[in-house]
Amino acid sequence: MSSSTKSTAPPGTPSSGAPTRDLTQGPIARTLLVFSLPILAGNVLQSLNGSVNAVWVGGHLGEAALTATANANNVMFALIGAIFGISMATNILVAQAMGARRLGQAKRVLGSSATFFGAVSLLIASLGVPLSRTLMQWMNTPEEALHLAEAYLQIIFLAIPLLFMFTFVTAVLRGAGDTRTPFWFLLVVVVLDMSLNPLFIFGLGPVPALGIKGSALATLIANALSFAALLTWLRKRRHPLWIGRRQLGLFKPDLRIVRTLITKGLPMGVQLVMISLAMIAMISLVNAYGVVTSSAYSAALQLWTYVQMPAMAIGAACSTMAAQNVGAGLWPRVNATARAGMLANIVMTGGLIALIVLLDRIVLGWFLPTGSPSLEVARHLNHIAIGSFLFFGVTFVLAGVVRSTGAVMPPLVILAIAMWGIRVPVAKWLQGSLGVDAIWWSFPVSAFCSMAMMLAYYRWGHWRRARMLPAGAQAPAAAAPGRDQEPVQEDADAMVPVDSDALLDQSGPCERIAIPAEVAGLPPSPVATQATDLERTARMKEAASGRPSPG
């Protein structure tokens, strides 16, 4: 990413080989599908990578090694859950800025976020390496797996800065409308990780056999090489968001942006943690019915991991696409994005569910031993519960659209009610009348209720008034009739050294700045009006007549 752009086109305008994609133009359904497919493929790649690595470790190093990696990965899941929310906040901020054609604001978000991510990842790594054994002991890791888990986790903590920064950069690229580049470099990570795992585990020639340490080292090297290649590619391609040597002042943290990353990002990260805790509660209920039922449920969970991927990919794409249109002030396209996302989810997830139900004996058999009595139990519970992912998909899409404005707390509250107010109580309290089926029915019941609550909030809630950044920070620009014209000289300005504190002053005035809807006790209300009534009237006349107004 040099300080210049690839062409004279506005940031985000699609062109041949363009590094960014304008999601505020073009057919919505097609744009959404093309944008979401690389996200879906990336999710599949990561799951396959985890499965293959588990085969290498568990199949060749034994159960103790597999237990060690499973316990260490639980720590990683919690950390990634927190960073996921903050990276999503960055994604939305960048998407809103790109949609509003505020390249300077997008770079300011990028600089502050990069410094914040880097500092947090280094802090976690420096604390995690010496505390690895203590963390594993707190999780009651079996004694025979403790030393293996410690060795594995220490190397993983060393890889944390690379993992976090790779996640951060790919989130920024998606916010700029590019999902293909993150996919290709994620593919590099997966291919390297899968190739290096057996090499470092078993050794070859001058490479020593490192056992479980080799698996962690493979992850570190794969992420290091791919991250370095990604940065090199972005710089060579002269990406519009690249911060060059003459713009290093942009890495000075803007406390308002950092505060937004925390206050908006953590609630999104907490959702993953909340889902994880609910799943632990469900597993504990299932385990009471013995190994046959537990094995059946485990097989279904493996299958459901792939069933939910289309909905998650479409939801993530909808969030970015909606955020760009929020930044552009194109509210009809925001609503159309939600409708297209729900329809795509019904078609893709519904088709996948129908196929799995027809072939359930085969696909569930992939995760169970031949002739296992758990197979029929797995088929029974799958027939009851798998339909819940249709409801989940609608909820996930609408939550992504709602969050694109900065309304992050309502989806969290809805999830908490669905998981802990409906799913877990139904699974626990209805067992007296339904037996173990109460657990399976808790999935569609809670998913339907979650969908109904999210639909209600989408229809009647005040999420359209929410803002990512607080009053005084850069706000999205209102849509203007001349949207297809060249933006202000932001690309040219990016060629010269800048004072990062003056970047916000480079952007044009906005209609209003609103208080975030999540601030308790303060309803969304305008706190600053920067367009006069005369200017407003002129614009309305211009729109009605189709002629530019004087001046």
> What are residue 526's DSSP bridge partners?
514
Q: d(Cα 265, Cα 273) in Å, to the nearest integer?
A: 13
What tokens were used for 124? 């976690």
Which of 175, 176, 162, 177 shows the shortest CA–CA distance to 230? 162
Q: Which residues contact 134 (CB under 8 A, 6 or more apart)?
A: none
pLDDT value of position 382? 93
Q: d(Cα 339, Cα 333) in Å, to the nearest integer?
A: 10
Per-residue pLDDT of the chain (551 residues; tens, 9 = 90+): 433 333 333 433 333 344 667 788 889 999 898 889 999 998 888 888 877 777 777 666 776 776 677 667 767 777 777 677 888 888 888 988 888 888 888 889 889 889 998 898 899 899 988 988 888 888 677 777 788 888 888 898 999 899 889 988 998 999 888 889 999 999 999 999 999 989 998 888 888 888 888 888 998 999 999 999 999 998 888 888 888 888 888 888 888 888 888 888 888 888 877 887 788 788 788 888 887 888 888 788 878 888 888 998 999 899 999 999 998 889 999 999 999 999 999 999 999 999 999 998 888 888 777 788 888 999 999 999 999 999 999 999 999 999 999 899 999 999 999 999 999 999 999 998 999 999 999 999 999 999 999 999 999 999 998 888 765 555 444 444 444 333 434 444 443 444 444 444 444 433 332 223 222 222 332 333 333 333 444 444 444 444 444 43
CA 316 to chain centroid, in Å, comes to 6
End-to-end CA distance of the chain: 38
CA atoms 535, 538, 543, 547: torsion sign: negative
Contact 296, 381 (CB under 8 A): yes
CA 63 to chain centroid, in Å, comes to 32
pLDDT value of position 61? 74
CA 461 to chain centroid, in Å, comes to 23
Contact 141, 71 (CB under 8 A): yes
Which of 176, 203, 177, 174 shows the shortest CA–CA distance to 186? 174
pLDDT value of position 58? 67
pLDDT value of position 303? 84
- What's the CA angle centered on 160, arms 158 and 161, to 5 degrees? 95
pTM of the model: 0.73
pLDDT value of position 19? 60
Q: Which residues contact 257 (CB under 8 A, 6 or more apart)?
A: 93, 108, 109, 112, 113, 469, 473
Q: d(Cα 361, Cα 430) in Å, to the nearest integer?
A: 28
Q: d(Cα 150, Cα 131) in Å, to the nearest integer?
A: 9
Residue-by-residue DSSP string for 381-441? HHHHHTTHHHHHHHHHHHHHHHHTTT--HHHHHHHHIIIIIIIHHHHHHTHHHHTTHHHHH
For residue 418, what are the CA distances in angstroms to 75, 217, 339, 364, 499?
Answer: 25, 40, 23, 27, 47
Please report, for the chain, the start and end positions of each structural domain, with discontinuous segments joined by +: 1-11+26-253, 262-461, 499-545
DSSP class of 465: G
Q: d(Cα 217, Cα 214) in Å, to the nearest integer?
A: 5
- Single-letter code of the amino acid located at 80: I
pLDDT value of position 391? 94
For residue 389, what are the CA distances in angstroms to 28, 62, 304, 383, 431?
Answer: 23, 35, 9, 12, 22
- Single-letter code of the amino acid located at 487: P
Contact 159, 223 (CB under 8 A): yes
What tokens were used for 90? 């960055």
Q: Where are the alpha helices (DSSP H) in 139-211?
A: 143-175, 180-202
Which of 486, 499, 341, 368 shows the shortest CA–CA distance to 11? 486
Q: d(Cα 13, Cα 240) in Å, to the nearest integer?
A: 11
